[in-house]
Amino acid sequence: MSIDLLLKDGFVIHGTEDGKPIRADVAIEGEQIKAVGDLSHVDAKKTISVNGQYICPGFIDAHAHSEFTLLADGRAEGKISQGITTEINGNCGMSAAPLYGAALEHRDRELNDLGIKERWNTFKEYFALLEKKKFSTNFVTLTGHGNLRGSVKGYSDVPLEKDELKEMIKLLRSSLDQGSRGMSTGLIYPPGVYSDTSEIIVLAREITGRDGIYTTHMRSEGDGLLESVEEVVRIAHDSKVRAHISHLKTSDEKNWNKLDNVFRIIEESQKSGSTITCDRYPYIASGTDLDAVLPSWAFEGGRNKEIERLKNERARLSEDILREHPDPSSWQKVLVSSVNLDKNKWMEGKSLADIAESRNQLTLTCLFDLLIEEELMVAAIYFVMNEDNLKSILKQSYTMIGSDSSARSFDGITAKGKPHPRAFGSFPKILGRYVKEQGVLSPGEAVYKMTGLPAKTFGLNRRGIIAPGFFADITVFDPETVLDKADYVNPYQKPEGIHHVFVNGSQVLQNGEPTGALPGRIIR
């Protein structure tokens, strides 16, 4: 046997549910795995001795937001440095397409900030752009429900007309035809926040017939958590769709005790025949837009209307915000992670409370003024979760790992602000903190949650397992040294212990350093 590349002297974790490290070599020929086992007799064009390190399938990020950053900079260094070879994008109701009307207008500022001059309407057009520019990781996408609703109805808080729902169905079908794997909702964000359960069920039935998947950022991860999980169960039951809860969590201390009931609801639904899974990142702080703290009525009508309300309806806004966040100390737990204006860059990495004090303002006045100044383009990190709950979620058999982050590089146009460290540390943190240090998961369990399980959940054929005939998406890591280095103060740090990464047989990480290769594919 003559092959292109031989990985020898390693321990293979195959990516299956019962995977244990087994002494073996892996042979790669072209884009595929050729053989696994004792290959000491094999003649290879290139041989890499990994000296007892683990050879496993390339990690699959079950929850990513890279549709625009990957178009701006295809290197995706923050992802490949973690061992990620494939991303599931289009989450939380927001995807690269369809983009028509108000939905396209809503994304215009973000595209401009990333230096993206091109515009498109469909996935077919977007895929053509992405393939032309090239990228390092494999790309999978869902269709954002927010894109569908925003393209047809805009950002108005009014019920859909029958013909509008039919138009959303038409757009969803077209997206599925072009390669989308299903649909996601973001039910705290406009315009998804204005939808009702029946609307989602009708759309989810379209996915069921294509063997797709429905993922959701639920309506609430705090006070309304149990009701939100019940809504997922209803959607799964009534539409027969496979459902997936994005970044399962319990937000705010008063809701931390609800987790056992969350598990009970999910597992009772599974016993009754529904398929429900989830993903989680290994941090107790969440990250999203700063204006997520506003009440849902503030978003109605789109960006300009929201800014008008921030200027003119502060008393009503303050009343609603304080009802949800009565404790003044809670603003110490909200970190501003990125702004656009140079004059405000000093705020990045500081709490909203400290920023308000520095500006001699009341906290809510500071919040409103900052959102107006930055035209809403402010990202924030919220310290609202519990470590014990995180470990419990990670242990569940139906939990996989997602970074909930966009692909960034260590320099260039995507290296802005102080993003959540999950963008650079999620997968090595699982392996270093929760496998090696704390034993929350075994190496085989962790790798399965990062590889075989998401491959099965999202229907990724011939990926997620080390076996002959499968695509050579491979990550090699040292179980003794693997560790995340990114933190909230300095997130742009490479992890330790991730040594080699291959995507479709091409090496994108060599001895911990990106090679610059861009062999990624769109997996339709």
SS in 3 state form for 91-149? CCCCCCCCCCHHHHHHHHHHHHHCCCCCCCCCHHHHHHHHHHHCCCCEEEECEEHHHHH
> CA of 519: how far to CAs of 59, 135, 144, 294, 415, in Å?
16, 6, 26, 41, 22
Packing angle of the helix pair 303-312, 314-324 (nearest 10 deg): 90
Which residue's entry shows tokens 């099965």?
A: 456
Q: What's the mean pLDDT in 134-158?
A: 97
Please tell me the distance from the alpha carbon of residue 298 to that of residue 291, in angstroms, as a whole number: 9
Is 80 exceeded by the pLDDT of residue 1? Answer: no
- 22-29 and 2-12 as β-strands: parallel, antiparallel, unpaired? antiparallel
Collapsed DSSP state (helix, strand, coil) of residue 443: helix
Domain map (residue ranges) of the chain = 289-381
- Judge contact between 272 and 240, C-beta under 8 A: no
**Amino acid letter at 2?**
S
* Residues in the chain, overall count: 524
Query: 342-349: long-range contacts (C-beta < 8 A, 24 or more apart)?
Result: 344/370, 344/373, 344/374, 348/417, 348/418, 349/418, 349/488, 349/489
Please tell me the distance from the alpha carbon of residue 320 to that of residue 329, in angstroms, as a whole number: 17
For the chain, the distance separating the N- and C-terminal CA atoms, rounded to the nearest angstrom, is 32
pLDDT, position 504: 98
Q: What's the mean pLDDT in 138-161?
A: 96
Which residue's entry shows tokens 């072009």?
A: 178
Please tell me the distance from the alpha carbon of residue 392 to that of residue 261, in angstroms, as a whole number: 13
Segment 186-230, tens digit of pLDDT = 999 999 999 999 999 999 999 998 999 999 999 999 999 999 999
Percent of the chain predicted with pLDDT > 90 = 97
Assign 90 a pLDDT band (cuts: 50, 70, 90).
very high
The larger pLDDT score, comparing residue 2 to residue 302, is at 302
Is 80 exceeded by the pLDDT of residue 313? Answer: yes
Q: Mean pLDDT for the chain?
A: 97
pLDDT, position 425: 98
pLDDT, position 53: 98
Which residue's entry shows tokens 């996935």?
A: 123
Segment 375-413, tens digit of pLDDT = 999 999 999 999 999 999 999 999 999 999 999 999 999
C-alpha dihedral sign at 275, 62, 418, 307? negative
Is 80 exceeded by the pLDDT of residue 71? Answer: yes
Q: What angle do CA 184, 430, 498 make, to 5 degrees?
A: 105
pLDDT, position 19: 84
Say which residues have a Cβ less than 8 Å from residue 350's Cβ, sequence separation at least 6: 335, 336, 358
Provide the whole-model pTM.
0.96
Assign 18 a pLDDT band (cuts: 50, 70, 90).
confident
- Nearest to residue 142, comparing CAs of 85, 197, 216? 216
Collapsed DSSP state (helix, strand, coil) of residue 219: coil
Neighbours of 262 (CB within 10 A): 24
Segments in 273-384 forming alpha helices (H) = 303-312, 314-324, 352-358, 363-373
Packing angle of the helix pair 145-152, 101-113 (nearest 10 deg): 120
pLDDT, position 2: 74
Segment 453-504, tens digit of pLDDT = 999 999 999 999 999 999 999 999 999 999 999 999 999 999 999 999 999 9
Collapsed DSSP state (helix, strand, coil) of residue 515: coil
Q: What's the mean pLDDT in 98-116?
A: 96
Residue-by-residue DSSP string for 410-421:
SSSTT--S---T
Structure tokens at 380: 């924030």
CA 93 to the chain's CA centroid: 12
- Nearest to residue 213, comparing CAs of 127, 144, 142? 142
Segment 406-450, tens digit of pLDDT = 999 999 999 999 999 999 999 999 999 999 999 999 999 999 999
Please tell me the distance from the alpha carbon of residue 122 to that of residue 131, in angstroms, as a whole number: 14
